[in-house]
């Protein structure tokens, strides 16, 4: 159960950060998860790296170009600073529901959730009654990968940062991210999303990720099954905008390696385009 708590927010990020608004006015992006940010007064380049958050051990990869960029950076910044014990404690607290699911959900919702749980995890709704609905989602999402040797990209980067003795930071807190995600979806929408969290959908996502195909990942994330327009704006575009307010300050001080969900890279309101609009040169690192 401790491992479930540890992965809860990371898994939630897969479900919720994977939705964005469809855009038609942005040029096609090169196939690269790694992007270099320079110019606009920066003395050293910083880097953007799009993660899938978690992946089966057999599919996990980290290219040489990414390792080099990480080694050249002086600070690691994630969506949430999982290296901070206070954040981990907060995550475990929020992984538990404010009230039992049996009180939070209607009989119809409980029945649907029970059906999904039995099909995807072999568990019943009674077994997860004390969890928050988002924690249940994280569990189902992890199961959709079809393996037991899950590797977490953010945790891998943190391990490397500790070995190099460099600082780790976060663009958001666990509490703020949970608040955003809870306010973005109704219970019915959350449960509807769960029915779409299948091994087949996850396999498509992993394939696109291994190809470093940012545009395909973006197209995958525009699927209307996962979010309406208002929700997509809340969980992606608004957060990107908030991050862009912080990133210039961090990059001005030192070379930063930013690692966050790959869905945040593309689109008109994606981090790449917003940084370019702010005057920075943002180029794919191809080798």
Segment 19-63, tens digit of pLDDT: 443 444 567 899 999 999 999 999 999 999 999 988 999 999 999
Question: For the chain, what are the domain ranges?
Answer: 20-83+150-284
CB 273 within 8 A of CB 25: no
Residue 224: its pLDDT value, please? 65
Other beta carbons within 10 Å of 86 = 10
Give the separation between CA 236 and CA 6, rounded to whole angstroms.
23
Q: State pLDDT tens for residues 244-266.
A: 999 999 999 999 999 999 989 98
**What is the pTM (predicted TM-score) of this model?**
0.90
Under DSSP, is residue 246 helix (H, G, I), strand (E, B) or coil?
helix
Burial (Cβ within 10 Å: 0-12, 13-18, ≥19) of residue 57 = exposed
């Amino acid at each position: 159960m401790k491992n479930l708590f540890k992965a809860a927010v990371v898994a939630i990020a897969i479900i919720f950060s994977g939705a964005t608004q469809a855009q038609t006015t942005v040029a096609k992006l090169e196939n690269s998860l790694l992007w270099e940010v320079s110019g606009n007064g920066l003395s050293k380049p910083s880097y953007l790296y799009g993660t899938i958050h978690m992946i089966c051990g057999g599919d996990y990869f980290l290219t040489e170009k990414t390792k080099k960029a990480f080694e050249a950076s002086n600070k690691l910044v994630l969506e949430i600073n999982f290296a901070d014990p206070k954040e981990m404690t907060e995550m475990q607290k929020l992984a538990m529901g404010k009230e039992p699911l049996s009180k939070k959900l209607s009989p119809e919702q409980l029945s649907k959730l029970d059906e999904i749980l039995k099909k995807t995890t072999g568990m019943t709704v009674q077994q997860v009654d004390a969890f928050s609905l988002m924690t249940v989602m994280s569990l189902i999402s992890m199961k959709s990968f079809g393996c037991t040797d899950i590797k977490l990209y953010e945790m891998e980067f943190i391990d490397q940062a500790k070995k190099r003795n460099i600082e780790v930071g976060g663009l958001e807190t666990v509490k703020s991210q949970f608040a955003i995600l809870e306010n973005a979806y109704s219970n019915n929408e959350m449960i509807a999303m769960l029915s779409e969290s299948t091994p087949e959908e996850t396999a498509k996502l992993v394939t696109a990720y291994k190809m470093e195909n940012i545009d395909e990942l973006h197209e995958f994330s525009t699927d209307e099954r996962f979010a309406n327009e208002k929700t997509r704006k809340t969980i992606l575009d608004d957060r990107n905008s908030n991050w862009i307010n912080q990133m210039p300050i961090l990059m001005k001080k030192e070379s930063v390696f930013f690692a966050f969900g790959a869905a945040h890279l593309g689109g008109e309101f994606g981090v790449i385009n917003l940084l370019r609009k702010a005057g920075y040169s943002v180029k794919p690192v191809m080798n």
